[in-house]
Structure 1
Amino acid sequence: MASNPQEGAAANAPVPLTRDGWSFAARIFAAQMLLVIVVVVWLGIASYQQQARVVLDVRQSTVATVSTTLANDPFVVDALQQPDPGAGLQPYTQDILSHAPTIDFITIMTPDLLRVTHPNPAQLGKRYSGSTAQALRGQVYSEQAVGTLGRSVRTIAPVYAADGTLVGMVATGITLESLQVLYREELPQILLVSLFALLLAGFTSWSFSRYIQSATLGFGPHGLRRLYAFYFSALHSVREGLILLDRKHRIVLYNSEAARLLQLPAQTPSGGLELADAGLPDTLRELMAGGRAARDEIHLGHGSVLAVSQSNARLTGTQLPGRYRLPLRWLRVQPPTGQVLTLRDLTEVQELTGEVQSLKTFSTALRAQTHEHANRLHTIATLIENGSSDKALAFAVDDRQHSQALTDAIVRNIDDVYLSSLLVAKSAQAHERGVTLSISAEGVVRPDTFHATDIVTIVGNLLDNALDVSVGTAESTVWVEVTALEDEVIIAVADSGPGIEPEFLENLLRFGVSTKQGSAPRGLGLALVQQAVARLHGTMTIDNDAGAIFTVTLPVPPKEEHA
């Protein structure tokens, strides 16, 4: 039986990154609530026991005071010396009990422990069942004991006559059953306070767990670890450089490609990396500090050409899997803000572009020469047809000698085939555009002294800029001077243009700064020239003398380095 293609596709589909089990927030909330419940219950029990001890101590003090007071009452002392002490003392103690609800019984007895007063009249004349040894020795004694009314807290005090004779004892007490009633009266207050503490702690724990829920996007510990592993792998596996900046424009994260392109530390510092301490090129630092959006802007790095894009880092518009919605706006986590910067290395592309531009220059020169030679051939042919063969011959010889003289003057001093070919081609291009290209060379530039791409980038861009500004001027002239010394080569390019305004001189070599008009991105040519000069460990200066003068000084490497 053939399997269902849809089932096979579903089986091979990638598993989405979802949350499994309890989220991190749910775990924290459960742990906090368990701890809160345990603490609240423990505090409730401790409060109840403490309150019970307080009530017991108060009642113990009360019965001790009553016993001591009655033992020193003259009426009680006189009554115990009468033949029938109970006749006067029983009504007396009953009256006290009726006005003292905190006392359950008052028992007055004779020295031989016979009760003369008791709440239960049936117990009158019977022997007292509590401890009396201490009272018989003249001590006031408190205890918990089981009597006729049940277990009670009592205090027994001796009663002495005026001559010091023991005439009886007074025992006053309160039953534990009555104390339990008093304890239960305190219980609602304890429960109310415990419930309030539980609700307050629960709400605080819930609020914090909701914050954690939003901050961790609902993932549990395992999900967060897996998410971090996936994102970390993706961060360092992409070929583009990636840099993350926080709200304060500090670099907080970057991958290995970004570290290579911008020469950043291998590991991101724990507190982030300040832009001023990162050693970034000026244009990149200004882009990061400004926070503006950018898309495929060309910037120069440390020996590389970079396509840079920048956007704000936000979660808005991105729906991640979630289970809950937070109803309270003030508890929500604000979307993480900052900047995301991507870098693409275009160095190889720019090198290829330079080579293509060189070929284009050569082809343009050939086209110009072909066009000019065609005109000259037509002229020679017409002279021959008109019978002026001598003039045709003289014209052809003079043109050949002029062209050969220019080529010989360049090749004689410049053995570098790329530089000499470029100058010859630019001479033809300048002639076509109506500009005179004056070339002078002194010394000898050895072949392959410099990398072809670098020398074409430097001279080609400087000549292109000079030709652009010289077209239509009064002199319409561009001067190129190549001076080859033993240890360095000096290339100077001057034009007959209007020169460079002073405010442009300082920033002219930066990308995006140009004296040309237009909406297209400009300033890349001179920036590439500067980069090539820096790659060859040279220098470049700019001066104004009617027109602009660019002077490039390149050190000549030893023969073994360019052989």
Structure 2
Amino acid sequence: MAATRAASAASRVFLAFLSAVVAIAALLAVLLTVDAQAAERAEAETLTLSLARTIASMPTVTAAMDESDAATTAALQPVVLEITADTPLDFITIMRPDGIRLTHPDPTQIGGRYLGTIDEAAAGGTVTEEFTGTLGPSVRSVVPVRDGAEVVGLVAAGVTVGNVWGQVWGRLPFVLGVAIALAAVGAAAALLARRLTRRIAGDLPASTVRDAVSSYESVRTLGEALRAQTHEHGNRMHTAVALLELGRTEEAIGILTETSRQSQELVDQVAARRDGDPTVGALLLGKAAQARERGVDWSAEIDPTAPRSALSPVDAVSVVGNLIDNALDAAAGGADPRWVRVAFAPAPGGALALSVSDSGSGVADELRERIFEHGFSTKPAGSDGRGVGLALVRSIVEGAGGAVDLSSAPTTFQVILPGRRP
């Protein structure tokens, strides 16, 4: 069976962009629906309270409260049924201060006790609440009927929750229209993003694009290291030649011997590993020269038993080189003494532990995660590789099943990588 073709970088950008837009549109639809429900409930509370107060202030209602229960019901039941029919209210219940109903949409409920809170209203205040009564859950307001200063009755006006939601459903076309419009704009933006990405990366798979970036970073950091090493050796050779011309043979031999010794120490450490990576070894030699060029004290400790990582030489150089570059920049920009320490050691489970420490000023707590984001950098705008190095390091390491950790005092990046299988 033919292998499934990997999705291109452009397609991944499109899908990521579109997924984000759909999620935002869905969240917006939910928020608008919740807002509409809250608005309808607030409107229902305002309506019920206003109409309850209007009914309680009617002279007919106040006068009828002085009659017997039967006479009050006969006088007010037709009135409240007419008002209910002409307004959005679902019920109007007029009752005695003790809660005995005198009117109700269902005549069989008259004479029973009102279901809900009335104490505050009976004391002369008002009550607005959602309560489940004989008609189901409803938003209702209860106000007192006064004869002078005396509370002679109560009026409850309510709207069932079903009707409140009915008003919300009426707003759904608008909510869905906004969500669909947002999704359409987002889809168009996603198509544009895919087109722009395709212009840059063509139909290459995302992994291939990342490999290309890794290769570029590998060549860049290795090139900088070799340039520094070549420059350092060139300076020392020129100095030695000048000393020989001046007849100062011993001093010339001393310079050449010291150059050889410093390089040999690192070569011996690299060669002592049971499964060393010669590419990383060459990188370390160059970075040592680069550190001396920048006035940074350099130390590299390589445990002979440290395994070779599962990374390819290109990815290994990208990870090690970018971490060292980051440390050199931090140390060179800090106070004396300026130093960088690199260590390779075995880790549990046959893994490789790489740590890179520096004497720099460290990373602020609020930036500890952001420094790994693509495009973010604490370096000045326009710096080469700005915002790529640490993001690429994390991508490569986590893609290989490893982990990157940052600690302080001193600033140390520690990478745990699976060891290469025999």
Root mean square deviation of aligned Cα: 3.6
- What does residue 394 of structure 2 align with? 530
Distance change in 2, residues 1:490/1:385 (3 Å): same
In 2, distance between residues paired with 1:494 and 1:526? Answer: 15
Q: Does 1:428 align with 2:292?
A: no
Amino acid at match of 1:493: V
Aligned pair 1:509/2:372, yes or no? yes
Whole-Å separation in 2 of the counterparts to 1:415 and 1:237: 34
In structure 1, how many angstroms separate the alpha carbons of the residues matched to 2:307 and 2:8? 44
Counterpart check, 1:357 vs 2:203: no
Q: Any idea what the Cα deviations from partners look like across 1:494-526, whole Å, max 9, x if unmatched?
A: 111101111112443333443334378954322
> Which structure dedicates a bigger proportion of its chain to helix?
2
What letter corresponds to residue 481 of structure 1 in structure 2?
A
Q: TM-score, normalised by structure 1?
A: 0.39
In 2: Cα distance, 1:237 partner to 1:376 partner: 50
Contact 1:500 1:515 in 2 (8 A): no
Aligned letter for 1:250? Answer: V
1:395 corresponding residue in structure 2? 255
2:207 is aligned with 1:371? no
Q: Report the counterpart of residue 408 of structure 2 in structure 1.
A: 544
Show the counterpart of 1:495.
358
Shift of 1:446: 4.4
The alpha carbon displacement at 1:539 in A equals: 1.6
Match of 1:410 in 2: 270
Task: Tell me the secondary structure at the aligned position of residue 514 of structure 1.
Answer: coil
Matched residue of 2:241: which SS?
helix
Partner in structure 2 of residue 41 of structure 1: none
Give a deviation string over 1:270-328, Cα, whole Å, max 9, x none. Answer: xx9879xxxxxxxxxxxxxxxxxxxxxxxxxxxxxxxxxxxxxxxxxxxxxxxxxxxxx
Displacement after TM superposition at 1:246 (Å): 8.9
State how 1:243-392 maps to structure 2 within 5 Å. 243=15, 249-250=21-22, 336-338=181-183, 339-340=186-187, 341=190, 342-343=193-194, 344=197, 346-392=206-252
1:451 aligns with 2:312: yes
- Give the TM-score normalised by the residue count of structure 2: 0.51
Task: Check if 1:479 corresponds to 2:341.
Answer: yes
Moved more, 338-347 or 454-463: 338-347
Q: What does the per-residue CA deviation read over 1:178-216, in whole Å, with 9 as the maximum and x for residues that have no partner?
A: xxxxxxxxxxxxxxxxxxxxxxxxxxxxxxxxxxxxxxx
1:509–1:380 distance in 2 versus 1, CA, 3 Å? closer
Matched residues in 1 for 2:17 and 2:329: separation? 41
State the shift of 1:351 in Å: 1.7
1:46-105: per-residue Cα shift (whole Å, max 9, x none)?
A: xxxxxxxxxxxxxxxxxxxxxxxxxxxxxxxxxxxxxxxxxxxxxxxxxxxxxxxxxxxx
Q: Once the two structures are superposed, what CA deviation does each residue of 1:195-239 show, in whole Å capped at 9, x if it has no partner?
A: xxxxxxxxxxxxxxxxxxxxxxxxxxxxxxxxxxxxxxxxx9996
Seen in structure 2, the aligned counterparts of structure 1 residues 361 and 511 have a Cα distance that, compared at 3 Å, is closer
Between the aligned partners of 1:244 and 1:352, the Cα distance in structure 2 is: 21
CA distance in 2, matches of 1:238, 1:361: 25
Measure how far apart 1:478 and its partner are: 0.9
Greater relative CO (CA pairs within 8 A, separation 6+)? 2
Q: Partner letter of residue 439 of structure 1?
A: A
Structure 2: where are the runs of 5+ without partners?
1-6, 29-176, 198-204
**2:3 counterpart residue number:** none
Matches within 5 A, 1:54-73: none
Does structure 1 conserve the Cα–Cα contact (< 8 Å) formed by 2:243 and 2:252?
yes
- Residue 401 and residue 535 in structure 1: after superposition, are their counterparts in 2 closer, same or farther (change >3 A)? same
Which residue number corresponds to residue 173 of structure 2? none
Determine what percentage of the aligned residue pairs are the same residue: 31
Q: Deviations over 1:129-169 (max 9, x none)?
A: xxxxxxxxxxxxxxxxxxxxxxxxxxxxxxxxxxxxxxxxx
CA contact (8 A) 1:380 1:396 kept: yes
Q: Which moved more, 1:399-408 or 1:458-467?
A: 399-408
Structure 1 runs not aligned, ≥5 long = 1-235, 253-271, 276-332
Matched to 1:544, the amino acid is S
Residues 315-357 of structure 1, C-alpha deviations (whole Å, 9 max, x = no match)? xxxxxxxxxxxxxxxxxx9994431324445532332232233
- How far apart in 1 are the matches of 2:308 and 2:352? 13
- Tell me by how many angstroms 1:394 deviates: 3.1
Q: Distance in 1 between matches of 2:263 and 2:182?
A: 65
Which amino acid is the alignment partner of residue 400 of structure 1?
S
Give the 3-state SS of the residue equivalent to 1:250 in structure 2. helix
1:251 Cα deviation from its structure 2 partner: 5.2
- Offset at residue 244 of structure 1 (A): 9.4
Instruction: Work out the CA distance in 2 between the residues paired with 1:366 and 1:247.
Output: 44
In 1, Cα distance between the equivalents of 2:19 and 2:417? 43
Q: Deviations over 1:446-487 (max 9, x none)?
A: 457432233222212211111111114212211111102461
Counterpart position of 1:419: 280
Q: 1:382 to 1:239 in 2, by over 3 A?
A: closer
- SS of the counterpart of 1:354? helix
**Equivalent AA in structure 2 for residue 443 of structure 1:** P
Cα pair 2:228 2:287 within 8 Å, conserved = no
* 1:466 equivalent in alignment to 2:327: yes
